[in-house]
Every structure is written in C-alpha cells, then in structure tokens.
Amino acid sequence: MLQNTECISLLFVTDRPETAERLISSIRVRGPAVRADHASDQSGVEALLLAHRFHAIVRIAVGESPGLEAINAALLNAGRMTPVIVISDRPESDRLADYESGAFAVIGADLEDLAAPIVLKAVEFSLCSTRMHQLRNDLQDAERRYLRVLDDSRDPVVYLRDGICLAANRAWREHFRVDTADEMAGRTLADFVSPEQHELLRQWMEAHALGTDAAGERRTLTLRTTLGRQFEAELVFTDATVDGERCTVVRMAMPAHEDIPGRLSVLDPVTGLHNRQHLFREAERVLTAAARSNQPFALLELAVDDLERFRNGLGVTGSDILLTDVGLLLREHFPDPATIAHLGDGNFGVLVPETRHSDLERRLGALVKAASEHEVDLGQGSTIVTLSCGAVIADDSAPTVDGLLDQARRGLEEVRHNGGNGYSFQRPLCDALGRSTSDRIWKKLIQDAMAHDRIRLLYQPVVNLHGGDVPRFSVLVRLTGPDGEVYEPGDFLPAAERTGIAADIDRWIVSHAVSALAERTRTDPRTTFFLKLTRGSLVDGSVVVWLQEFLHQHRIPANNAVVEIKEATIVTNLRAATETAHGLKAIHAQLCIDDFGNGLNPFHILRHVNADYIKLDGTFVRNLVKDEANRDAIRRFTEGGHAKGKQIIVPMVEDAATLAVLYGLGVNLVQGYFVHPPGEQLDVDFTQVL
C-alpha cells in the first residue's frame, strides 16, 4: 500500500492545467503529498524528463500534441521508466491505440473522480516493483558473498555452467594439479572423475538439474588428478549465480592445503577484450553510480551477421581473426570510459556510462556504417562483415543488470530478424522506479566517516542585500571517503534517509556546528547559524530536545540557531513538522523552509508551519537575467513572503547580473559563490562582502 508519508512526483502533459489542479487536489485528499510539474509541448516534456524522475506521467489528451508516441520517445531519450496514464476525451472504442502504445491506463475525461485512484495505483505498482527489485538485488548480492566465501574456502571448489568449468579456486587447482586458472577453461567435471564413474556422474548431474536431487546432498565419487592419481571424496552440489547467470557450485568436502582464493579470468583469450563477468561487474558498478550522477547509461549487445557462414568458410583461425578485428572496431568507436567485452559465441557487449539517446544513436550509426565498409584482412584474402546491435538506455531505476542485457539481446534479435546491418533501441522491461543497490555501501561509508572524523563542515555567508545586518552562516557538509574522494550531501543523504541513519548524521553535524558557533559568538554574539535537518530528525520526535541540550551546553541563545528543513520534507511529514515548529518557537529558535516554491500552492504550508525565513529553490535563479518566468516567480514569492512577515533568501547566486536583479525584486538575503564561497573558517567581514 502507498504510505501517506510518501511524496509522489507527477508530470502532467496538457494545455489544461486547471484539470491537473483538480486531479492533484483529489490525490492529496487521499493522503499522499504531490510534487507536480507541467509541460504543454514535446520540448517541455523532454526537458523535464532529462532533469527529473517522476513516479507517473499523466497526459490529459485534449488536442493532439504532444501525443503518447512523443512521450514514449522522450522517455526513451531520457532513459526513464515511468508509467503513463492517459485521460482522454476520445470515444472508448478509440482508446485501444493508447494501450497498444504502452499506456498504463486510459480514463475517460468525464471520469475525473476515477483518475486519482488510478494514478495512485500506478504509483503503488511502481513502488512495489521497486521493492521487489531491491530484494532481488539483495538476493544476488547474498549469492555473490556466498561465492566469495567459497573462493576463500580451504575446500576445493569449482564453478560449472552447462557442465563446463567456469573457474576453480586455488584449493581445487592445487589438489587436482592444474597449474593456472586459464587451464580450467573448457574442462568439464568429468575430467576430474574416474572414467568408470562417468555414467554415475551424468545421472547425478541430471537429477540435480531437474531438481529431483536434494540441494547440498553429499555423494561419494572416485576422483582423479591431471597426473592420474585417484582417490575417493565427497562432492556437494549447490545452485548459485555468478555475475547474474545461473551456475552450479561443486565443493569437495575435504581439507585443502592452502587458504588462497582463485580469481575469474578478466580477458577473453580470442579477442583480448574483457569477458562477460567483467562487463557484468562494471555494469553493476555503473548502475550504482547512476544514483549519484543522475545520468543514464547504456548497455549494448552486438553480433556479426551470419557468423556461422563465416565460420564454415574461414575455419577457426579465420573466425578468430574476424572477431578480433571487430573488437578493434568497437574500441575505436567506444573508447574509454566505455567497457567492451566478448560475451562468447561471437557476441559482444558494450557498457557506455553517462550517455544520451541522440549521442548513442550517432555513434551506433557510425559503427554500423564503418563495419560495412571495413575490409577484414585474413592473410590470404579479405572479407567485409555487417553488424547488428540491440541497445537499452537506463538510469539507476533499472531493476537488474541481467534484465537490461536481456532487453539489449531482444533488440539484437529484432535487427537480425529484419535482415541485420542495423541497430534497435529497447526500453527496460519494468516501468518502475528503483533504488540504488549502493545504500548499504553508503551506510557503511557514512558510519565510518563519522567514526573517523571524515565529515567536514563548511560555512557560507548569508548576506543581507539592503545593508548591514547580523552575521549569518549556512552550515554545509561534505563527506570524505577513505581514499580522499569528496561527496556532497546529495550523494549520500538520500541513502542515509533510506537506511535510517540520517538522524545520526544530523546530530553529528549540529553538535560540531554548535561548537564552532560558540567560538564565533565570543567575537560577535549576534552570529546566527542555519542548521539543516533531514526527515530522519523530523520524524524522530526528539530534535528540539537534543538541539536545546547542545545550545545550552555551549551557553548559546536559541535565537542564534535557525533550523532549516526542506519544503518537501515538511509536506510529506506535516504532523511531525508542525510539532517541531511549535517546539522551536517554544525555545525561541528560528525556522527556515528550504527549497521553497515547488508546490502548486507553496504558501499553504505556512498555515501549518510558521517559519521565520523562506529560502527559495535554487532552480528559480537559473538564467534569471533572461528568464522572465523565473523573475516573476521570485517576485511573487518575495511579495507573498513579505506580506506574511517572512524574510526571503535566494541561494546559488553566481554572478553580478543576478545579484542586481534580486536587489530590484526586493529579496532580503542571498548566498552563493559570487557572494562568498563556503569555507572552513568563520572570519568573514560582512561589511565587505557586497
């Protein structure tokens, strides 16, 4: 079920915003908060999808543009996976085309009351799918951990797929006298079993494959080393996955001589490219990183058209030369940071991080053309090949890497079916938003940073545009990784929220910031700090108590502290926010609403939360000199805020022209790199900043 505490993000595609307003109100009556954006043409849809993720898209189909086909094209270009609900004034008999084009639901324009529960069902479906994908990723992660344990085991272990050895740990190779990991390639389990027991082994493996054999059951077989020495030992079969593909793990239940793990081969012996396992691992890494970059990536699967004919005519050596040449061509068109792998059987995989549909389409077109014009030198002649390719673009909302590879393969088969020598883009299978599987990694990194003081506090002045005033600083945070890499709050705080440690970070930050504030107030007792709090602290319920304790400990008046909470956090946790606001007023601390202005009626929030400051969303500052709509929005918020006795703060001021516009609009306070960059020191002369 969709929780009332969840804030859903919707994109309305229509030239009738009043209809959208009614639908949003109907959804809000049912509980969830709504963050809505609106587009009335295709360029607007494309821009919003590139910039944001939405739980659902609602197309109110009054008129013809942009149609569902245009929305689907924009989704494909952005690599998003978002369900689309169509509200249509067309006759019911004409709505089948929308379903065939992928609409989640189609609702008659005369049934507006039905639209709200349908939209909520679409969002609920997406969130449930997300949780399912998370559980699936957790399961795969557990399987990989299990395999790593087996790699480190003193028991000899070998990994099989379709009876062929993928890899073996060091204990297995040493016990059976196999010198290197490469020598395991192409061997079967039967190579390590006495010939007299091959039939018994075959029966056992068939029973295991059919599921009639109990998993983990021990069987005794006569084994033999590569030197011919025979011995009896117990073998245990277990199902697992290696880099997303099912395999069988065979463990010999007897002590090994050394505890040294084996390693999977990284390079393909034919082409010199990476192998499938390496591509899969890199794709999982990029899938996790996509949560931070907010950029989509692409997975491709390519193959030489009619490869079997070439093999029959060229033999093994000629075929290897051909595949090596194709690998070089792929490297030319997809240089670093792309990852290229030979997937086996003449197929290639390419991982392209941080790409867009238009750029990828251009590169694929150039590759297919170059391949058809390139002569492969075979020593005693030459030949020309053509390539087919399937491509899928996704962001971190993708469910699994193997699901994306399956879709890329579907695209490849589609091109082959149509004659080859081309490429096809596919959409990921599931229309759902997914959360990054990196949350557990972030949690460990955050806890380690707090334990070892690798969280840095920076202080950025918040300056009055209209003359001298009290010194104000916004407290910012950066997290430093163990190797010196620096992360901003947007990188790690979402994961902290989801893993339940956001309140711990808040307390760490506030306790250290209050200590710095105490030092600053010795020279200027008017100094005020803006202290950001997450949802974790808001719903914790004890934030006012521990904030007061920190302030009292350092003998700082509560009026010197401004608690800063995002508008979306307040909207989605309104009861907790209201109680916190009352508590702050009771101890004489101040409150600031951050990222203000994204709701349909932002000032409505002030009925519940009586803030002292309103800090506008930084997106309103973009291109402010030329963007009349943003200037009008800031003017409207400033006048509305002043009418209610609030001070208006505008962040992200990066140039003098923007500063001049804000002065003319009557904004009270500004911050940004042009005003003053953040730093670790508090020795700022506010009389000289502007």
CB 566 within 8 A of CB 526: no
Query: CA–CA separation, 132 vs 106, rounded Å?
Result: 26
Maximum separation of any 2 CA atoms in the chain, in Å: 95
Domains of the chain: residue spans and CATH = 7-132 (3.40.50.2300), 153-252 (3.30.450.20), 276-426 (3.30.70.270), 439-670 (3.20.20.450)
CB 342 within 8 A of CB 289: no
How many other β-carbons are positioned within 10 Å of the β-carbon of residue 297? 25
CB 248 within 8 A of CB 159: yes
**What tokens were used for 355?**
């790409």
What residues have CB less than 8 Å from 167, skipping those under 6 apart?
A: 158, 159, 181, 184, 262, 263, 264, 265
Residue 441: strand, helix, or coil? helix
The pLDDT assigned to 690 comes to: 73
How far is C-alpha 12 from the chain's CA centre?
A: 23
What residues have CB less than 8 Å from 242, skipping those under 6 apart?
A: 144, 147, 159, 161, 166, 264, 277
Low-confidence ranges of the chain (pLDDT < 50): 1, 4-5, 255-266, 430-437
In this predicted model, what pLDDT tens digit does every residue of 539-592 receive, in sequence order? 888 999 999 999 999 999 999 999 999 988 888 788 899 999 999 999 999 999
**What tokens were used for 405?**
């590879």
Query: CA–CA separation, 48 vs 492, rounded Å?
Result: 24
The pLDDT assigned to 211 comes to: 65
CB 7 within 8 A of CB 28: no
Query: CA–CA separation, 417 vs 261, rounded Å?
Result: 44
The pLDDT assigned to 5 comes to: 44
The pLDDT assigned to 247 comes to: 79
Query: CA–CA separation, 93 vs 101, rounded Å?
Result: 15
How many other β-carbons are positioned within 10 Å of the β-carbon of residue 339? 21
User: How far, CA to CA in Å, does 95 sit from each of 59, 68, 74, 102, 481?
Assistant: 13, 11, 21, 12, 53
Token pair 């270009």 is found at 77
Query: 58: part of which helix (H) or strand (E)?
Result: strand 56-61
The β-bridge relationship of strands 455-461 and 375-377 is unpaired
Upstream peptide bond of 337 is cis (omega within 30 degrees of 0) = yes
In this predicted model, what pLDDT tens digit does every residue of 399-444 receive, in sequence order? 677 778 888 988 898 898 888 899 999 876 543 333 444 577 788 8
The pLDDT assigned to 477 comes to: 96
How many other β-carbons are positioned within 10 Å of the β-carbon of residue 33? 21
Q: Is the Cα dihedral 647, 648, 650, 651 positive or negative?
A: positive
